Amino acid sequence: MRKFSFVLGAILVLSASPAAVSAKHKSKPPTTFAGAGQRLHFSFGGSIKLRNDNTKVSGNFMIIAHPAAPGGDTLSVVCTYHALSKATVEGTTLGFDAQGHCKTIMKSGEITKVPVTNHFTFVDNGATGDTIHVEGDVISIPTGELSFGDFTLTVPQPS
């Protein structure tokens, strides 16, 4: 019986077509999101790749805020994000969480650095104007259409 099992196993392994084996190990292209824009006194941009059915998120993102009429002593805020997670794609809407740091320039010349966590939501509306919403404690951007710029969400189609 052992000889028969070994021979049957060898036949099955050798009979697998190379195309079937390579198709099984071929991964689909990542979902991508990239661009830059402005809304109110915020500039923002970056690029993101979502792999493995959106379970692995990589890329970077940045927000720069220049308040038109600074409240208090804050003149400018620059936030950079490199730890991205919990991405969701629904139609033309992308949401993701991001962690990083914000550097703040104070009127006194002091520069402070604080950790930041935000939730981003973008809607790629094509030519009619994309929208952004950013939630967080250190910095947030209210929901609305970009006054300048464009983002492109590219979701690979199933073959």
pLDDT of residue 118: 97
Give the per-residue SS3 of 22-73: HHHHCCCCCEEEEEEEEECCEEEEEEEEEECCCCEEEEEEEEEECCCCCCCC
Give the pLDDT mean for 81-106: 93
pLDDT digits (tens, 9 = 90+) for 132-146: 999 998 899 999 999
pLDDT of residue 7: 42
pLDDT of residue 16: 47
| CB-CB contact of 31 with 155 (8 Å) | yes
**Domain limits, the chain:** 31-154
Which helix (H) or strand (E) covers residue 74, if one does? strand 74-90
pLDDT of residue 106: 86
80-122-48-56 Cα dihedral, nearest 10 degrees? 110
